[in-house]
């Protein structure tokens, strides 16, 4: 019998995770299968207990369930401090993890971008930003968080300050100066996402050639921000690898097997 894995969320119809994980299982000849399940807020506990009772191997969680899961599963310290769970392993009870920030870390590492000691500017202070800020603070980046709603940036900087003592939060008014002082810029806002593809948090005049720009938006892949980065001679990194690496890390947690990242990437790109 095949071991079932899945992703729970609402909406869930457009999730690329089934395609990505099923390609990985096929590639490795594993008797496993991965499906998308529409689970609404309030039904998560029942869905998890049902999955566990039916012998599921594990699940990913997406909007709007990641925060609710903290009250249900045994979350590891990183997921607890982020305040959200995106991966649950059923091997031994219900263990919760958050691999979203790890996706950003691996994406930067793959492009030979040094994280430790770098000046990192994260724009946005929502869920994705939290996961990335905690992970990259742990990895030794000097972090500035800038957000349209300044107080959210200040609060997030304060939350990570026990790991990153120099973390600071601010508004978007002085984005040019902030970018000037930065080695890495990560867009964690929805600016530039389909259908508002002309949106950008910064233009080429505000960037410099030593900068690395990672956009977590991957629809479209080549966002306005990344076009502006290229114009400025900066290194531009597309967001799909983050999705792939957070999935690859979940795959590793569940199976203990090295994930076939290039197969997973091909599967995701076919869907984009």
Instruction: For residue 6, say whether it is annotated as part of any ligand binding site.
Output: no
Phi, psi at residue 54, to the nearest 5°? -90, 5
With CB atoms as reference, the residue minimizing the distance to ligand ATR is 126
Residue nearer to ligand ATR on the CB measure, 49 or 63:
63
Classified as helix, coil or strand, 211 is coil
Instruction: For residue 41, say whether it is annotated as part of any ligand binding site.
Output: no
Among 45, 52, 66, 176, which one carries the catalytic annotation?
A: 66
CA 169 to chain centre: 20
Residue nearer to ligand ATR on the CB measure, 32 or 105:
105
Whose structure tokens read 């009250």? 71
Residue 96's CB: how many other CB atoms inside 10 A?
A: 24
Q: Is the peptide bond before 64 cis (omega within 30 degrees of 0)?
A: yes
Residue nearer to ligand ATR on the CB measure, 87 or 255:
87
Sign of the Cα torsion 250, 253, 255, 259 reads positive
CA distance 117 to 194: 34
| Strands annotated E in 29-118 | 32-38, 58-61, 74-75, 87-89, 95-97
Shortest spacing between CB 62 and ligand ATR, in angstroms: 10
Residue nearer to ligand ATR on the CB measure, 23 or 122:
122
Residues 6+ apart with CB under 8 A from 160: 133, 134, 137, 143, 167
Shortest spacing between CB 123 and ligand ATR, in angstroms: 7
Instruction: For residue 125, say whether it is annotated as part of any ligand binding site.
Output: yes
Does the active-site annotation cover 66? yes
Instruction: For residue 149, say whether it is annotated as part of any ligand binding site.
Output: yes
Instruction: For residue 127, say whether it is annotated as part of any ligand binding site.
Output: yes
Shortest spacing between CB 147 and ligand ATR, in angstroms: 5
Residue nearer to ligand ATR on the CB measure, 9 or 57:
9
Binding residues vs ligand ATR (CB under 6 A): 124-129, 147-149, 152, 188-191
Report the run of H or E that residue 248 belongs to, with start and end.
Answer: helix 240-255
Shortest spacing between CB 216 and ligand ATR, in angstroms: 7
The DSSP result for 107-159, as a single string, is HHHHTT---TT-EEEEE--SHHHHHHHHHHHHTT-EEEEE-SSHHHHHHHHHH
Instruction: For residue 15, say whether it is annotated as part of any ligand binding site.
Output: yes
Shortest spacing between CB 100 and ligand ATR, in angstroms: 9
Token pair of 175 as six digits: 């984005």
Instruction: For residue 68, say whether it is annotated as part of any ligand binding site.
Output: no
Binding residues for NADP(+): 124-128, 147-152, 216, 239
Binding residues: 15-17, 62, 86, 100, 124-128, 147-152, 216, 218, 239, 246
Residues tagged active-site:
66
Binding residues for shikimate: 15-17, 62, 86, 100, 218, 246
């Amino acid at each position: 019998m095949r071991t079932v894995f899945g992703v729970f969320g609402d909406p869930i119809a457009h999730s690329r995770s089934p395609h990505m994980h099923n390609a990985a299982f096929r590639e490795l000849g594993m008797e496993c299968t991965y499906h998308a399940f529409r689970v609404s807020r309030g039904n998560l506990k029942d869905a998890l207990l049902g999955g566990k009772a039916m012998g599921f191997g594990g699940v990913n969680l997406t909007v709007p369930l990641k925060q609710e899961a903290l009250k249900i599963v045994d979350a590891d310290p990183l997921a607890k401090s982020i305040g959200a769970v995106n991966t649950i392993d059923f091997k031994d009870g219900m263990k919760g993890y958050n691999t979203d920030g790890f996706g950003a870390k691996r994406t930067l590492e793959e492009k030979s971008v040094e994280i430790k000691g770098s000046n990192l500017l994260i724009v946005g202070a929502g869920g994705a930003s939290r996961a990335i800020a905690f992970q990259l603070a742990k990895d030794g980046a000097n972090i500035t968080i800038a957000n349209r709603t300044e107080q959210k940036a200040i609060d997030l900087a304060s939350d990570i300050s026990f790991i990153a003592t120099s973390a600071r939060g601010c508004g978007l008014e002085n984005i040019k100066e902030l970018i000037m002082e930065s080695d890495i810029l990560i867009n964690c806002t929805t600016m530039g996402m389909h259908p508002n593809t002309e949106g950008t948090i910064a233009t080429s005049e505000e960037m410099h050639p030593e900068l690395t720009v990672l956009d977590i938006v991957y629809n479209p892949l080549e966002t306005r921000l990344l076009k502006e980065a290229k114009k400025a001679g900066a290194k531009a990194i597309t967001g799909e690898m983050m999705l792939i690496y957070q999935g690859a890390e979940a795959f590793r947690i569940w199976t203990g097997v090295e994930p076939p990242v290039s197969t997973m990437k091909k599967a995701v790109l076919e869907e984009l």
